[in-house]
Chain A
Amino acid sequence: MSETRPPRDLAVGAEITGPARRMTAERIEWYDSAMLSAARGELAQVGSNIHTDEAYARSQGLPAVIADGMIMTNWISSMLVEHFGLSYVERSELRTKFIKPVPLGMTVVCRGRVLSVERLSSGAVAWMLDVWCEDERGVKVVDGHARVEVPA
């Protein structure tokens, strides 16, 4: 993994990818409980919501439970950590739009493509990437972009 070194192999057009992950009830519960635990500062267990409770999701007009979009945002974030390391944590931006629901059983892959590489007046180098998540058929379910500055 990169720590502070510029990812020299990531030229314009280069693609990055994360692992294929199947959306499971366990993954949904891990995220929801972790989010609550981080907010409370102590271990917490998620209760009923549209991500965990089929009957409640249907009562809200959804066809079934859907994954929280922040799970996919975090998987994209992990892909950026993998390629840019500390630079991503220090100075970056990430936009994600949740354009299709992710149901249980869908296999999701995160991908990115370098749009530009720009040397800034500070000497830092800024990478701009399209980032997205797609299902087994290559249909985008999350779309977005990222920008990461790697210091000189």
Chain B
Amino acid sequence: MLGGYISDLAAGDVFDPVEYVLTAFMASEYAHGVEESWEGFHSSGAPGGRQMRPPTMIHVDKMRILERNCLREQRVGGAKGPHARIHYEYFARQHSPAYVGERLIVSGRITDKYVKRGRTYIDYYLEVRTADGRLVTTYTDKTLLKYEPEGKASP
């Protein structure tokens, strides 16, 4: 179910897309935060003369689309849900670079939600395109919705 907590999401839920313009600050600040010094992520002094974002920024897009679609658990805005989630798997396919100044559209859906050994997992599929339709990144993600197995109380 959209509109609630992330743990309320269900297989088949289709996210309301988000759209934004990639800025130099976004690319450079993210790269800086992970000690990534390749010049192409920090300035136009890159091959091709255009600043790009690190491909791993698809994970920021995941946060953006969750922020739009899970109104009771907006982590970017500082709001926690009932339980912390644990990221388990990241899988990004990079089809083309995202350049600073481009308008990006993030769309996606929940592909699965299941219980394994008492723990609930959720699978996402996301894709990012430029406003003119060029495919930038496709992404699948597996996240554990709560660290402790069901039936074991938190201290």
Chain B residues at the A interface, C-beta cutoff of 8 Å: 20, 23, 25-27, 29-30, 32-36, 38, 40, 46-48, 52, 54-57, 59-60, 63-64, 67, 75-76, 78, 80, 83-84, 86-97, 146-148, 152, 154-155
Contact = CB atoms under 8 A, between A and B. Distances in A.
Contacts of A77: 34, 36, 54-56
Interface string A64-103: 0000111101110110011001101111111111100000
Interface stretch (A31-39, A116-124, A133-141): A31-39
**Interface size bracket, A side:** 35 or more
Given A39-B60, A70-B56, A78 B147 contact: no
Contacts, number: 150
A4 B47 CA distance: 8
A49 B32 CA distance: 21
A38 B59 CA distance: 10
Contact of A35 (B35, B63, B67): B63
A74 B54 contact: yes
A66 to B, nearest CB: 8
A5 to B, nearest CB: 11
B56 to A, nearest CB: 5
Contacts of A93: 91-94
B77 to A, nearest CB: 9
A70 B154 contact: no
A60 B84 contact: yes
B33 A3 contact: no
B59 A35 contact: yes
Contacts of A36: 76
Given A39-B67, A41-B26, A75-B34, A69 B96 contact: no
